[in-house]
């Protein structure tokens, strides 16, 4: 396991290039739900820190071991978080076996190989997004999780946002009627300004620009977030996709050191959903003036909803009922929700499924694969 994604970041940079708005405070888990759960962390770099902190704050969860091929980083991580055991491989950890669940925070390209052995051993698994590097691997992981009968979850972090969950609930209840159209964007600008550090000097950012280092570009990095965000709220799954990807010149010769800068920087997708709705999803790292801004607009036959978010806050707005006559939009309340980390542990304790699960992750990966195929073939439409 080569942990390429998790090098040291600049102090102001998020551990992942997608970051939940900090105003979304988690609610407390139900009382009496503190049955012990022993957790193993696979991969101990930048994003693993957030997993250790979030899981470690849940009553009854013990961080019992970490895995990393870099012994110095593993020791530093374990010392920081008070984790007693460390292993250099999945096989060593399985031979030890004294854990109930796993959170996989390795680079995208190795999710598949590092997750399947744990599923085969009957361990519950949370995996970072995207679930795998391609649909075939993601589908195999989803099938393995189903056959194992274990709790499985993809850490699509924007499921932590109350505004998104409330929008999805309103759509499901018919508040905006039949969904007809949606627009979603995830805009970042770390390639045009140094707010999160100089990208050209940090492996944390350089790996995201290089296919050979396991990156699917902006499509796999934040595109998977906005794709899940949009289709979850719209209440349906894509049946067709058309996509155009763009990779821009960023350095002389198209590389910096070992990093060939060939991963996509911008993605534009047109989607058709099973419920008949059509929409556009856009993700970019060249959106100057937008540090980490997400927007979603859903329009139905009886009203419209907007979810707007950035590093400071997220809000839900609606134009419903008579407000449609004047084009008036109002802020709507969005109650707090459990975080992905809390819901994963709660599902283990209750013996119930956790969402978004590996099946959802595989479905999203199928759309991403077809989006890439659409761009490569310059096809106007690809079935999903």
Q: Give tens-digit pLDDT for 113-140.
A: 999 999 999 999 999 999 999 999 999 9
Q: pLDDT by residue (tens digit) across 79-108? A: 999 999 999 999 999 999 999 999 999 988
Using CA atoms of 151, 215, 135, 145 in order, give the dihedral in degrees to the nearest 10. Answer: -20
Position 31 confidence tier, pLDDT thresholds 50, 70, 90: very low
What pLDDT sits at residue 8? 27
Position 10 confidence tier, pLDDT thresholds 50, 70, 90: very low
Looking at per-residue pLDDT, the higher value among 215 and 111 belongs to 111
Position 7 confidence tier, pLDDT thresholds 50, 70, 90: very low
Go through 25-37 and write b for each residue having 16 or more CB atoms within 10 A of its CB, e for each that does not.
ebeebeeeeeeeb
Are 287 and 298 contained in the same domain?
Answer: yes
Looking at per-residue pLDDT, the higher value among 267 and 12 belongs to 267
Contact predicate 185/295, CB 8 Å: yes
Q: Is residue 286 part of a domain?
A: yes
Are 331 and 346 contained in the same domain?
Answer: no
What pLDDT sits at residue 12? 37
Q: Which whole number is the average pLDDT over 61-72?
A: 98
What pLDDT sits at residue 13? 43
Are 264 and 249 contained in the same domain?
Answer: yes
What pLDDT sits at residue 3? 30
The CA distance from 361 to 133, in Å, is: 11
Contact predicate 334/214, CB 8 Å: no
Q: Mean pLDDT of all residues in the chain?
A: 92
Question: Does pLDDT of 151 surpass 50?
Answer: yes
Q: Is residue 18 part of a domain?
A: no
- Write the CATH number for 185: 3.30.360.10
Q: Is residue 103 part of a domain?
A: yes
Question: Does pLDDT of 143 surpass 50?
Answer: yes
Are 127 and 212 contained in the same domain?
Answer: no
Are 232 and 375 contained in the same domain?
Answer: yes
Lowest mean pLDDT: which of 133-142, 275-284, 311-320?
311-320
Are 146 and 283 contained in the same domain?
Answer: no
Number of domains in the chain: 2
Are 206 and 332 contained in the same domain?
Answer: yes
Q: Is residue 25 part of a domain?
A: no
- DSSP H or E run through 376: helix 358-377
Are 115 and 178 contained in the same domain?
Answer: no
Structure tokens of 346?
């709660």
Are 275 and 315 contained in the same domain?
Answer: yes
Residue owning tokens 């799954």: 237
Q: Which whole number is the average pLDDT over 18-28?
A: 51
Q: What is the pTM of this model?
A: 0.89
The CA distance from 266 to 383, in Å, is: 22
Position 273 confidence tier, pLDDT thresholds 50, 70, 90: very high
Question: The sheet that has 292-300: what strands, in order across it?
Answer: 330-332, 314-320, 303-309, 292-300, 179-188, 278-284, 266-273, 238-246, 382-383
Residue owning tokens 């250790």: 52
Position 313 confidence tier, pLDDT thresholds 50, 70, 90: confident
Are 147 and 188 contained in the same domain?
Answer: no
Provide the domain limits for residue 259: 161-338+366-383
Position 276 confidence tier, pLDDT thresholds 50, 70, 90: very high
Q: Is residue 360 part of a domain?
A: no
Q: Is residue 308 part of a domain?
A: yes
Position 19 confidence tier, pLDDT thresholds 50, 70, 90: low
Are 134 and 169 contained in the same domain?
Answer: no
Q: Is residue 14 part of a domain?
A: no
Position 155 confidence tier, pLDDT thresholds 50, 70, 90: very high
- Write the CATH number for 57: 3.40.50.720
Are 52 and 144 contained in the same domain?
Answer: yes
Q: Is residue 29 part of a domain?
A: no
What pLDDT sits at residue 1? 31
Position 24 confidence tier, pLDDT thresholds 50, 70, 90: very low
Position 9 confidence tier, pLDDT thresholds 50, 70, 90: very low
């Amino acid at each position: 396991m080569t942990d390429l994604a998790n090098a040291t970041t600049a102090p102001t940079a998020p551990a992942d290039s997608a970051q939940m708005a900090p105003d979304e405070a988690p609610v407390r888990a139900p009382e009496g739900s503190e049955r012990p759960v022993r957790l193993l962390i696979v991969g101990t770099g930048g994003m693993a820190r957030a997993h250790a902190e979030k899981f470690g704050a849940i009553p009854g969860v013990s961080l019992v071991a970490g895995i990393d091929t870099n012994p110095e980083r593993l020791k530093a991580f374990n010392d920081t978080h008070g984790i007693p055991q460390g292993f250099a491989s999945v096989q060593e950890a399985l031979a030890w076996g004294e854990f109930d669940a796993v959170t996989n925070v390795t680079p995208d390209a190795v999710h598949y190989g590092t997750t399947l052995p744990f599923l085969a051993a009957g361990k519950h698994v949370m995996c970072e997004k995207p679930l795998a590097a391609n649909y075939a691997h993601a589908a195999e992981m989803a099938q393995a999780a189903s056959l194992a009968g274990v709790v499985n979850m993809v850490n699509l972090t924007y499921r932590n946002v109350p505004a998104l969950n409330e929008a999805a609930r309103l759509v499901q209840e018919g508040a905006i009627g039949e969904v007809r159209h949606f627009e979603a964007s995830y805009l970042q600008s770390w390639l045009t300004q140094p707010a999160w550090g100089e990208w050209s000097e940090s492996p944390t950012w350089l790996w995201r620009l290089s296919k050979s280092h396991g990156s699917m570009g902006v499509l796999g990095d934040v595109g998977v977030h906005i794709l899940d965000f949009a289709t979850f709220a719209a209440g349906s799954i894509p049946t067709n996709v058309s996509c155009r990807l763009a990779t821009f010149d960023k350095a002389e010769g198209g590389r910096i050191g070992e990093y060939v800068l060939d991963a996509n920087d911008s993605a534009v997708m047109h989607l058709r959903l099973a419920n008949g709705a059509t929409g556009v999803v856009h993700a970019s790292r060249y959106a100057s003036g937008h540090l980490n801004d997400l927007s979603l607009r859903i329009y139905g036959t009886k009203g419209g909803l907007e979810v707007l978010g950035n590093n400071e806050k997220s809000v839900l707005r609606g134009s419903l009922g008579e407000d449609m006559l004047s084009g008036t939009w109002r802020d709507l309340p969005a109650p707090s929700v459990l975080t992905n980390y809390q819901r994963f542990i709660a599902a283990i304790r209750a013996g119930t499924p956790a969402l978004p699960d590996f099946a959802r992750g595989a479905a999203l990966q199928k759309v991403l694969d077809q989006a890439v195929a659409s761009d490569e073939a310059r096809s106007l439409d690809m079935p999903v």
